[in-house]
Structure 1
Amino acid sequence: MKNLTLFAALFSLFSSSSAQITCPIPYDSNFDGLISVSDLLDLQSVFGLVDVDQDGIDDAVDLCLDLAACNFLSNPTEVCKYLDAIGICGGSCISDSDLDGICDDVDTCDGVLDVCGVCNGIGPLPSTIESITILYDSVYAAQINDWVVFESGADTVYLECYPAVFTTCGDDLGYEGHNYSTVQIGSQCWFSENCRYLPSVSPTTTFSVTSPVFNVYNYMGSDVAEAMSTVNYNTYGVLYNYEAVMSPGVCPTGWHVSTNLDWEALAYFLGGVYVAGEKLKSTTGWYSNFYATNSTGFTALPGGWNFVGSYEIGLFGAWWSISDQLPEDQYRHFRRLFYISPVVQYGNEHKLTSKTARSARCILN
């Protein structure tokens, strides 16, 4: 209070007498010929009170002094935050190389999708038509006492899209109308996104131990095309119960749904199950992005599972790991990544009660 009284007195004194002063004003720190708030803020330093960024808050309690911070004025009791690569204040996105507003670690296309949905593709390919049938019709015109013939229809030239051609790990692979991204991790080549194979779709209230069930997060209908148009399908893919994930067609020829041995080899290469999860998890999408570096490019997203209608999106991701034992053993195996843990967790269900739907990843044979 004493400091404020002193400042007020000084301000009043110098303001009232500034017109008569011909000598330099002793407290005019910016030499503009006037005593202003800026000068008084500088004067505070004499008493140990400093406001470097001049936001009216003493530096002793101001946790953000950087004018470039995106929260510079919004919350002075909060440490400085900065815009990430996609413009989120305090966000975790490091890069967005194609400037499409999607962080690179979850962006399935670093570039532009063509009309066929191919990343940086060359667009549609005109189909070859073996024959063209033109339909004609006629009408009698009494005014000219003759028949008038006109074209009533013809074949249409259709466009056929190029599927992505896979030649080496890291290339996209076209399958079932979608181009999957792939990633090399050690000696293994994995899909770096969840499987999307969807021959049918059931409401998320449908469960079965003996019949295939295909779910899409939060979709309650049975229209495949409609389900495939949802954001959740295009983000998390499909959730399969055990009978569904064992259906032929989930993975393309030459690939298979990941097994226990596949996951064990993956974790071993990454330093063991207690640390491997951090290197597999996407850096965004989790409730908390701790223990998530995605240094492998595996891009594991927290798509949850469908267990009696519980998805738990954001908490964890769960993927089938098929048994390597032949014939199949009594349990259904899976791997799980949790949002606050770097561990690759193992779990199983007895085959007589297993009806949970989970994500799937394909791996090259």
Structure 2
Amino acid sequence: MVLSKKILLIGLIGAIGVQTSCSSHEFDNPNDPRYNPASGSGSSSSYGSSSSSGSSSSSNAAGSSSSSALRECDEVFNPNNKFCYDGAVYDLCDGMAYNPTTHICSGSTAVRALCSGAQYNPLIQDCCNNSAILKATHFCSGATIYAKCNGAEYDPATTGCCNNATFIISTHFCSGTTVYAKCGGEEYNPGMQFCSGTTVYDKCGGTVEYAPTTEACCGSGKYTLSTQYCSNGIVMAYGTISDGVRSYKTVVIGTQTWMAENLNYAASGSKCGDGSSLSDGNTATCDTYGRLYNWATAMRFASACNSQTVASCGATIAPQHRGVCPEGWHIPSDAEWTTLTTYIGGADTGGTKLKAASGWNSYSGIPLGTDVYGFAALPGGYGNGNYGGSFGSAGVGGYWWSATEYYDASYAYGRFMFYNHEYVSRNYNDKTFEHSVRCVRDN
């Protein structure tokens, strides 16, 4: 019984593996898919024979069995639907073997492998968008040629390759030979920029990173916001001045020394914004923007000096009028404000240079404050005591008094900045309005 099974198995292998071949010179036309460039001839099919090890061997698919240039196949195959060529097994094309180095099976027809009219070798090449590519190093996706990543193909729709390593393109990107996580979903230039949280920042001078919450750029370097300021590209240490209750930072701009904060001295008659009205007790807005003063309060005059009917008030304005400022400091005159804006390049773009880099509302097309000189102007808004103590424009506009009266003594000059304009406006306003105060040091 065991002997009968062995005879049956050998007979089955022979039935599958043996098939007659065509004459070695039956296909001598090089354009015929069965043409074998190694021997100059072709065969219509391959055949197998049992080797000493029991596996099937074959002649080359497109040539005679006598060709020594091509390797035999080690695996067993059925010559009714497959053929062997140079050590590899292929499917017949409509029952016919063909030369896989020159032809491909298109549908049920073996056709010559042409790429943009030029012959290519389908065993080692592909045709991608009319360009022949090497399978060992490249692959085709859609109509685009990609280099393999560490020798492997990948899906370009979801994956990228960087220095022979794949990465997910929805969350990462490649710069040079390094993979970086996206910043807030966006790519950036790691050579010139860095990511903090979900925000991209420019490096100082294109090379220096900094901590955006505590540091900022000054020229090509960085400085500490709490103790230093940048004055036209030069890092300077803040000075300090006290009003007896609070200390204020000070900055040198040209020949002048200014407070770098709005005054928050609780003089009698000063107010804080509270929603849409003015308040004496709710100091939250004042803690950010400083207090608001009508002109007479800022000058330490009687409230009657807000009216043009009191002509004697103007006569008592000192050249460096202290008002509510700390000792050794004074309310800037209209001329001193002009000195400031002239030094920084003029009033037309002075607002952008004097505004703090944060704390202002944004407006399309208008740059945010650059605070080039450390002045850090903040938009404290204004109050109107004539209309029930209304308050508005915090975050939108900043208004600062000068010590100089307008020709109509019920008005005084000041400087105004707005979130949607780059300039510093020289204007006058009713003395009864509440504005911010910046003090300048006495000469």
SS at match of 2:440: strand
Q: 1:215 aligns with which of 248, 266, 272?
A: 272
Q: 2:262 aligns with which of 194, 198, 204?
A: 194
1:322 aligns with 2:403: yes
**1:316 and 1:337 in contact (8 A); partners too:** yes
Shift of 1:56: 6.1
The superposition leaves residues 234-274 of structure 1 with CA deviations (integer Å, 9 ceiling, x where unpaired) of 22111112222122752012211122111111111122211
TM-score by length of 2: 0.46
* Identical aligned residues as a percent: 24
Q: Which residue of 2 aligns with 1:110?
A: 227
SS at match of 2:325: coil
CA distance in 2, matches of 1:31, 1:276: 56
**1:213 and 1:243 in contact (8 A); partners too:** no
CA distance in 2, matches of 1:108, 1:243: 34
CA distance in 2, matches of 1:280, 1:172: 19
1:331 aligns with 2:408: no
Q: Which residue of 2 aligns with 1:236?
A: 289
Q: Which residue of 1 aligns with 2:338?
A: 264
SS at match of 2:330: strand
CA distance in 2, matches of 1:93, 1:79: 10
Q: Which residue of 2 aligns with 1:176?
A: 244
Q: Which residue of 2 aligns with 1:89?
A: 199
- Number of aligned positions between the proteins: 251
Shift of 1:297: 0.9
Distance 1:108 1:291, change over 3 A: closer
Q: Which residue of 2 aligns with 1:340?
A: 420
**1:68 and 1:82 in contact (8 A); partners too:** no
Shift of 1:313: 2.2
Amino acid of the structure 2 residue aligned with 1:188: Q
CA distance in 1, matches of 2:224, 2:264: 16
What does 1:65-144 align with in structure 2 at a 5 Å threshold? 68=180, 70-71=182-183, 74=185, 82-84=194-196, 87=197, 89-90=199-200, 101-102=213-214, 109-110=226-227
**1:108 and 1:181 in contact (8 A); partners too:** no
1:293 aligns with 2:367: no
TM-score by length of 1: 0.55
More helix by share: 1
What does 1:245-284 align with in structure 2 at a 5 Å threshold? 245-247=298-300, 250-284=324-358
SS at match of 2:378: coil
CA distance in 2, matches of 1:83, 1:64: 13
Distance 1:284 1:198, change over 3 A: same
SS at match of 2:432: coil
Amino acid of the structure 2 residue aligned with 1:41: D
CA distance in 1, matches of 2:186, 2:160: 16
Root-mean-square deviation over aligned CA pairs: 4.5
**2:356 and 2:377 in contact (8 A); partners too:** yes
Distance 1:311 1:93, change over 3 A: farther
Q: Which residue of 1 aligns with 2:392?
A: 311
The superposition leaves residues 134-167 of structure 1 with CA deviations (integer Å, 9 ceiling, x where unpaired) of xxxxxxxxxxxxxxxxxxxxxxxxxxxxxxxxxx
Residue segments in structure 2 that go unaligned for 5+ positions in a row: 1-87, 90-122, 125-134, 139-147, 218-222, 229-236, 302-322
Distance 1:303 1:27, change over 3 A: same
**2:149 and 2:161 in contact (8 A); partners too:** no
Distance 1:296 1:221, change over 3 A: closer
Q: Which residue of 1 aligns with 2:437?
A: 360
Shift of 1:336: 1.0
CA distance in 1, matches of 2:415, 2:203: 26
CA distance in 1, matches of 2:421, 2:149: 54
CA distance in 2, matches of 1:217, 1:176: 25
SS at match of 1:277: helix
CA distance in 2, matches of 1:335, 1:63: 48
CA distance in 1, matches of 2:435, 2:203: 27
Amino acid of the structure 1 residue aligned with 2:395: G
Q: Which residue of 2 aligns with 1:129?
A: none
Shift of 1:340: 3.1
Shift of 1:305: 1.7
Amino acid of the structure 1 residue aligned with 2:428: N
**2:263 and 2:291 in contact (8 A); partners too:** yes
Residue segments in structure 1 that go unaligned for 5+ positions in a row: 1-19, 112-168, 201-211
SS at match of 1:243: helix
CA distance in 2, matches of 1:302, 1:92: 26
SS at match of 2:348: helix
More strand by share: 2
SS at match of 2:154: helix
SS at match of 2:239: coil
